[in-house]
Amino acid sequence: MVKKRETNVAELRDQTAVSRRDFVKAGAAAGLGAAILSAPGKAQAQPAPADIRWDYEADVIVCGSGGTGIVAAKRAHDLGADVLVLEQNFDIGGKLSHNGGLSSFGGGDAIQERDRRGLADPDGWLTAPLLPPADVTDDPETLFIDTTDWSVVNDHAIADYRYNDRGYQRGWADNAAATRQFLMDNHVRFSRISRTHQGGGMTKARAASSIMKLGAKTDIEAGTITSADAGSKEEERQSLFNPCTQICGGPGARADSLGAPNCIRGGFVISRSVEYTARKAGVRFMLNRHMDEIICEGGDSGRVIGVKASYTPRISPVTGKRLESYWSNGNIDETKQVIYVRARRAVIVGTGGYMGNVPFRTSFDPRMSEPSMQYGTGLMGPLHEDASGILAGMKVGAGLGGLFQPYLHSSSALRLQNVLATSDIYDTVMPGHPAFEFIRSYGIAIGTSGWEYIIAVNQVGKRFHDEWSIGNQRGSEAQYPPGSSGTNKSFTPLDWRNASVAHIRSTYNWGPGSDAALAMNEGSRAPDYSSGPVWAIFDQAAVNANGWQLRHPYIANPPDGNFFKADTLAELARLVVGNRFQHMPLKYLEQTVARFNSFADAGKDTDFEKAAMHRIDKAPFYAALIPLAVNDSYGGLKIDGHCQVIDIYGKPIPGLFAGGEASGGGRQHGIGRATVTGYIAATHAVAEPVR
């Protein structure tokens, strides 16, 4: 049952500006029909701005409630603005709420300072600092230089910071410490600093995880969480409160190794804490509401004056009822298909990435035409990465920034995953969270060692790569030993040797497993010549050797087409057509396994040079989907150091701001990128003149 939690929230202000009947008349006059209303983001007949009858209004409209949006909303409210958040999902938090919570800020932020001085945390929960003071001694100038250092090269020879936008990065470096403090002021607690994080700079350690301590009560202000709300991987249960995924350690991921005994870590700590204070302060939320278009004074140009948004409820496949948010105070429950919302000061776009939009994502990487590619729809629904914020900005003249950033970026590269048999590797949750009703399996985690017992085949049943080195697409940070990122004593900023051929040779670690998986094969057909799904094939001996648990909730029950079992390989080859992306049997599977077994007998794989092999011959046999998935988006709306959106002619668009994965310019990963840009965007959005 969906739980409701009430905090004290002031009376909602500025409710509906027009009645439903007025709206319907306005909608009919504008030619809005049921069909288009159910297709958010599609081009539609649009009333002229002067003729729009606004349904709601606010000083600042925030689109999206993830890392960027939730921070922008609370920050704008703190600065005196009346704020309305539009969120297409049924609950707030976006990807922020299911991430691991490792948050890289810096510039001498309060947590770096605490650890540098060897201080205890105010609650007295933490152990001693993990790093020596020199590693956390930082300032904004060092952070700025670090995040624009041309010489940093990662483990697949990509220059991590060389292509960062300097104006954007300056604004980011100057606001990182303030954003950490803002989160702390909103009850977010952090573990000890352990290292830095992708894009967080090489010379200093800047990352700590957001934590709550296990206790008898879930209390945001006290920073405590019950075991029921934390969830438990061991007990195979999740909660609506904490959707943190298995990628990050799963429900109830412990933070003991980060100097925080008996604490649970995760991005949900940030989203729930800021949501709590935002609701309490009077920020309004309209959930199930997808921003479709940005409206300017002159139609598609001039000052931004509002947005058009449509109703996007998510219905439980189990109960047939609409999914509901954890907290409801401050929610405006509006079910009109289309509404218009006026922005008295500004619109902030925090709608996240674009990986769900095939035309858009293939403009960065043609391999991403593959329809079975996963990007995390379970938790946030099919519209969450539809590039809608970016496209809406482009329609009113916005330029794009950071176009080089997605190129083989570690977090935006498509990767074969080592958790099998799930349809949503980035959202996998345990039973107890509504997303499980859509995803239906947690997946089978095989680690890197499991590949020894598996062959990976394409949609026609042929191997394509040495399975062992599939894991080599680690896509990790630049490596300058000794120490992990942020503790690299031998790293010399701005030194050519960091990018020398000798250094690249010594650290290069990139396998083309994903490229091989995405290659055209006999099953590839026009118009997109898709490579099709990729399958892990193994036998009962592999299961026995590894102790893999082939049961619910690790596999779906009833079956969902991502896992098959058969007594013969011929039968297994036929069964896989039960997967919605698999359009043919694994035609060559029997031949492939026979050939592989001959390699295992001979101790030599003459096709792919796999180092350790086991015969596949003990029935029953298994086929489990190997997810091909992508984590982040890089590149998006071009923004300046104030996070104001810049048009295609290089001029700021009045009243339009953006941040996080909807924006482009920097290669910083995740929470640091999203929350700092949300903080900056709000600071400048509230300074826009009222109209």
Binding span for ligand FAD by CB under 6 A among 27-35, 99-107, 151-159, 211-219: 99-107
| Tokens coding 506 | 């010594």
The verdict on 406 binding ligand FAD (CB under 6 A) reads no
Binding span for ligand FAD by CB under 6 A among 62-70, 74-82, 434-442, 578-586: 62-70
Which single residue is written with the structure tokens 């988006």?
Answer: 633
| Tokens coding 637 | 């709306």
The verdict on 258 binding ligand FAD (CB under 6 A) reads no
Provide the 10 A C-beta neighbour count for residue 483.
16
Q: Would you say 302 and 311 are in contact if contact means Cβ atoms under 8 Å apart?
A: no
Please select the residue that binds ligand FAD; options are 26, 52, 60, 63, rule is CB under 6 A.
63
Paired residues of 85 in beta bridges: 62, 285
Q: How far is CA 162 from CA 169, 369, 441, in A?
A: 12, 28, 40
CB of 295 to ligand FAD, least distance (A): 14
- Calculate Rg over the CA atoms of the chain: 25
Spatial separation of the C-alpha atoms in residues 621 and 590, rounded to whole Å: 11
Please select the residue that binds ligand FAD; options are 55, 59, 68, 637, rule is CB under 6 A.
68
Please select the residue that binds ligand FAD; options are 212, 230, 291, 391, rule is CB under 6 A.
291
Spatial separation of the C-alpha atoms in residues 69 and 675, rounded to whole Å: 8
Please select the residue that binds ligand FAD; options are 62, 86, 188, 295, rule is CB under 6 A.
86
Near ligand FAD in 540-579, by CB under 6 A: none
Near ligand FAD in 334-373, by CB under 6 A: 350-352
Given the complex with ligand FAD, which of 404 and 426 has the nearer CB atom? 426
The verdict on 393 binding ligand FAD (CB under 6 A) reads no
Which residues make Cβ contacts (< 8 Å) with residue 41, sequence separation at least 6?
290, 292, 383, 386, 388, 391
Spatial separation of the C-alpha atoms in residues 52 and 37, rounded to whole Å: 17
Largest CA distance in the chain: 78
Burial 583-593 (b: 16+ CB within 10 A, else e): eebbebbeebb
The verdict on 101 binding ligand FAD (CB under 6 A) reads yes
The verdict on 384 binding ligand FAD (CB under 6 A) reads yes
CB of 56 to ligand FAD, least distance (A): 14
Near ligand FAD in 426-485, by CB under 6 A: 426
Please select the residue that binds ligand FAD; options are 248, 270, 645, 646, rule is CB under 6 A.
248
| Tokens coding 624 | 């489990």
The verdict on 284 binding ligand FAD (CB under 6 A) reads no
CB of 350 to ligand FAD, least distance (A): 5
The verdict on 314 binding ligand FAD (CB under 6 A) reads no
Please select the residue that binds ligand FAD; options are 260, 380, 439, 460, rule is CB under 6 A.
380
Closest CA to 389 of 143, 194, 32, 674: 674
Spatial separation of the C-alpha atoms in residues 498 and 520, rounded to whole Å: 37
Please select the residue that binds ligand FAD; options are 75, 82, 83, 100, rule is CB under 6 A.
100
Near ligand FAD in 647-686, by CB under 6 A: 660-662, 669-672, 674
- 3-state class of 83 per DSSP? strand
Given the complex with ligand FAD, which of 126 and 347 has the nearer CB atom? 347
Please select the residue that binds ligand FAD; options are 46, 65, 175, 473, rule is CB under 6 A.
65
Single-letter amino acid, residue 235: E
Report DSSP letters for 11-65, one per residue.
PP-S--SS-HHHHHHHHHHTT--HHHHTSTT-------GGG---SEEEEEEEE--
Given the complex with ligand FAD, which of 419 and 454 has the nearer CB atom? 419
CB of 338 to ligand FAD, least distance (A): 13
Burial class (CB in 10 A: 0-12, 13-18, 19+), 31: exposed
Given the complex with ligand FAD, which of 107 and 660 has the nearer CB atom? 660
Please select the residue that binds ligand FAD; options are 89, 169, 441, 472, rule is CB under 6 A.
89
Please select the residue that binds ligand FAD; options are 357, 388, 487, 683, rule is CB under 6 A.
388
The verdict on 288 binding ligand FAD (CB under 6 A) reads no
Provide the 10 A C-beta neighbour count for residue 21.
8
Please select the residue that binds ligand FAD; options are 81, 84, 208, 247, rule is CB under 6 A.
247
Spatial separation of the C-alpha atoms in residues 439 and 216, rounded to whole Å: 31
Given the complex with ligand FAD, which of 136 and 248 has the nearer CB atom? 248
The verdict on 290 binding ligand FAD (CB under 6 A) reads yes
Report DSSP letters for 110-145, one per residue.
HHHHHHHTTPPPTTS---S-SS-GGGG---HHHHHH
CB of 105 to ligand FAD, least distance (A): 10
Query: Can you give the length of the chain in residues?
Result: 691
Binding span for ligand FAD by CB under 6 A among 13-21, 47-55, 231-239, 245-253: 245-253
Given the complex with ligand FAD, which of 351 and 459 has the nearer CB atom? 351
Q: Would you say 281 and 83 are in contact if contact means Cβ atoms under 8 Å apart?
A: no
Please select the residue that binds ligand FAD; options are 52, 73, 84, 96, rule is CB under 6 A.
96
Binding span for ligand FAD by CB under 6 A among 242-250, 363-371, 443-451, 650-658: 242-250
Near ligand FAD in 166-185, by CB under 6 A: none
- 3-state class of 646 per DSSP? strand
Given the complex with ligand FAD, which of 433 and 463 has the nearer CB atom? 433
Count helices and strands (H / E) in the chain.
17, 24
CB of 321 to ligand FAD, least distance (A): 20
Spatial separation of the C-alpha atoms in residues 548 and 544, rounded to whole Å: 7
The verdict on 99 binding ligand FAD (CB under 6 A) reads yes
| Tokens coding 35 | 């069909």
Spatial separation of the C-alpha atoms in residues 378 and 436, rounded to whole Å: 7
- Judged by the rule CB under 6 A, the positions of this chain that interact with ligand FAD are 63-69, 86-89, 94-96, 98-103, 197, 245, 247-248, 267, 290-291, 350-352, 376, 380, 384, 388-389, 426, 631-632, 660-662, 669-672, 674
